[in-house]
Amino acid sequence: MRKIGILAALALSVNLSGFAQQRSEQNHAERFEQLGTMLRSPNVYRTASGAPGHMYWQQQANYIIEVELNDDNQSIKGSEKITYVNNSPDQLTYLWVQLEQNQRGKDSETPKGTESSISPRMTLTQLQGILWHTDDYAYQVLDVKGKDGTPLKVAINQTMMRVDLPTPLKSGESFEFAIDWSFNIHDRTGFIGGRPGYEYFAGDGNYLYTMAEWFPRMAVYSDFEGWQNKQFLGSGEFALAFGNYEVHITVPADHMVGATGELQNPEEVLSSAELDRWNTAKKTFDKPVVIRTQAEAEKLEKSKATAKKTWKFKAQNVRDFAWTSSRKFIWDAMAVKQGGKDVMAMSYYAKEANPLWGQYSTRVVAHTIKSYSAHTFDYPYPTAISVEAANGMEYPMICFNYGRPDSDGTYSEAIKNGMISVIIHEVGHNFFPMIVNSDERQWTWMDEGLNTFMQFMAEQEWDRNYPSRRGPAHKIVPYMRSEKNLLEPIMTNSENIIQFGPNAYAKPATALNILRETVMGRELFDYAFKEYARRWMFKHPTPEDLFRTMEDASAVDLDWFWRGWFYGTEAVDISIENVAWYKMDNRTPSQKAADEKKVADLEETYVSRSKNMTDIKETYVEADPATKDFYATYDPFQVTPADEESYKKFMAGLSAKEKELLNSNLNFYEVKFRNEGGLVMPIILEWTFADGTTEMEKIPVEIWRKNETEVTKVFAKQKEVKRLVLDPNRETADIDESSNYWPREMMPSRFEMYKRSGGVRGAASGSNPMKEAKK
């Protein structure tokens, strides 16, 4: 501990300011500079505030589709009429249509452009992935005609088809054309994998179909990009136009069908008992009503109908349409009050998914609608469906999810929580990107990252201390510690991401959570985030629209945050480099002299004990009196009248506030922080005092503005400090916590002892206590 007087303290402050200014010239990497030209320039379509401009426009594509499922050879054939409305100010000479199913064809570019290698041990699925396949799952028939039946000239380039227009399509006009197609459905549990397809159940010989990306769909033509006609390679998902759908789905008569939109002919496709239960479900808000029971589904599994039924659906203002079909389905539903209307939360699942799905799925759907609506806007659609399909993928009003118990009906807690999380996540995608319709082919994070952030909040609202995998800051640390060659900015094209899950899901979700909890605060963040969602519902936002809206609605300059978290790869690693303790010197001359004499006596004692002093019998000065002068007898610790007078004069010249400060007995702690990781963040401190009490303190990120590498800050505390911790609640994703303590603390790393036959691992690793209890 050192003591300083008032004058010395002022001098120290001046010196430190000068030193910081000198260092800032060497440690300024522009982390606080505005994004400027890194963002698209605002215009009449997208304003500088992040809102749609007064001339904002977007295209519309309406569909009338007839499709039939062949359950004997696992194929579909369909025909569609598309009415494309040109709301842009531009004249179009051709249209682009997406053919994602071609990505699964035998000549697909996806396997050709994917790395592969041989391992000492390989599964059949891995080998099939290398060999790809000889079966063709691409579109087999593509017949494209105009409204009058005249064939249209087309050019197919892998997963994109250009339709050349007979005459230019002017602004404000619409163009109607028709496409007939067919394709073979693939086994999505096999080596091709992917989102749609079928699953075969060998035990009863039945199929469960999840039909997505199943029809030719219009590509997006936008103000910021023109045609979005990037090829579909598998990772970057979809960019789609809004429109209205009328879809007729013909399937075996014993199948149950769930789809985007509202069922138009329940009286034709449901049994009388199912119809009664459906009408009951529409008036039941407290629990799911089972419309087709497990016993009924199991009975249907034993035979296959030869007759057919056509299920008719309509959907308004959606960007896509998906459906599912199987005779194995159990179906339950319940109503949810939301935004002044009733929403039907529903689940479709085979017996293999029970008992988990009957107990949880529809309840989780209902919870998700309420949670997401509270943070964004009221859910606008009439239905929300969860389908158990050993999968995980989202479409408007319907999603396919996993979470299947073991064959004996037991399940681990990890399986249950995984199921709940994926249902929240996929149902939540109705908000991002099905309604806030970002371009997934370009920016996966704009829907996956935002949705994962929303998922985290919904999980915490589902059950206290829910074990969320993504969202809490400390869980992104392993990724942030990755080698630099394995990292890329969040603002990376969807197909180019190396670590897809951490980069596109976890990091942006964590960033938004930090923004909400640590940087902006919940009130400012929630208002701004809701404003973004409200502004861009049923529209096509870009990253700039999000960044600008968050600042516009909060008055918080966040360019440093977007630059660091979204455009950079640096990590958070702030260390406590040094702590110096100071006390104000308010001693009288006598007290000061006495204290200094004690120190001098102590130093003399140390010196006298040294070997050098014991070996010297007599010094020169001791032997020759002529060498002695005034200082031989001078007492440097004697207080003189001049000292007393100077002290009195100093005290008399102090104001009342200066005397109060002098006698305040404050403790001054000069703390030096170093930014080792590069990513600037607020400094969050927990002070622990000698009496055991604690205090939290947050220093805003702006402290790094002048020097992004090292900063010094003085803190005045009434109590003496015994411990200082940086980021005590692990809310900034600091990758090295060993330097976050003063005094330094040992941080053990854990390791496990196990036998080669396999150690015992806990429930968190996926063990099944229910199964053990059943034994």
Return the structure tokens found at 334. 């319940």
Q: How far is CA 672 from CA 91, 388, 519, 681, 710, in A?
A: 62, 55, 21, 15, 7
Mean pLDDT of 631-649: 84
Question: Residue 608: its pLDDT value, please?
Answer: 65
Note the pLDDT of residue 133. Answer: 64
CA distances from 564 to 34, 529, 681, 730 (A): 12, 19, 9, 18
pLDDT at 1: 43
* Whole-number pLDDT of residue 17: 38
Q: Is the dihedral of CA 29, 31, 35, 36 positive or negative?
A: negative
Long-range CB pairs of 453-457, under 8 A, 24+ apart, other chains included: 453/508, 453/509, 453/512, 453/513, 454/371, 454/372, 454/375, 454/376, 454/428, 455/421, 455/424, 455/425, 455/428, 455/509, 456/509, 456/513, 457/371, 457/375
Q: Tell me what pLDDT residue 8 has.
A: 39
Which candidate, 378, 385, 434, 388, places its Cα nearest to that of 258? 385
pLDDT at 759: 42
Separation between Cα atoms, residue 709 and residue 574, nearest integer Å: 9
Condensed to tens digits (0 to 9), the pLDDT of residues 378-420 reads: 999 999 999 999 888 999 999 999 999 999 999 999 999 999 9
Question: Does residue 15 have a pLDDT over 70?
Answer: no
* Closest by Cα among 434, 446, 200, 471 to 322: 434
- pLDDT more than 70, % of the chain: 93
Percent of the chain with pLDDT over 90: 73
153 Cβ neighbours under 8 A, 6+ residues apart: 163, 164
616 — phi, psi (to 5°)? -90, 115
pLDDT for position 610: 60
Predicted pLDDT at 732: 97
State the average pLDDT over residues 530-535.
98
**20 — pLDDT class (breaks 50, 70, 90):** very low
Mean pLDDT of 47-53: 97
Q: Once rounded to an integer, what is the mean pLDDT over residues 64-69?
A: 98
- State the Cα–Cα distance between residues 240 and 440, nearest whole angstrom: 9
Residue 4 has pLDDT above 80, yes or no: no
Q: pLDDT tens digits, residue range 312-368?
A: 999 999 999 999 999 999 999 999 999 999 999 999 999 999 999 999 999 999 999
- pLDDT at position 533 is 98
SS3 call for 451: helix
Q: What is the mean pLDDT of the chain?
A: 91
pTM of the model: 0.90
Q: Which residue has the higher pLDDT, 220 or 659?
A: 220
The C-alpha atoms of residue 206 and residue 304 are separated, in whole angstroms, by 9
Per-residue exposure over 594-627, b if at least 16 CB sit within 10 Å of its own CB, e if not: eeeeeeeeeeeeeeeeeeeeeeeeeeeeeeeeee
pLDDT digits (tens, 9 = 90+) for 148-199: 999 999 999 999 999 999 999 999 999 999 999 999 999 998 877 778 999 9
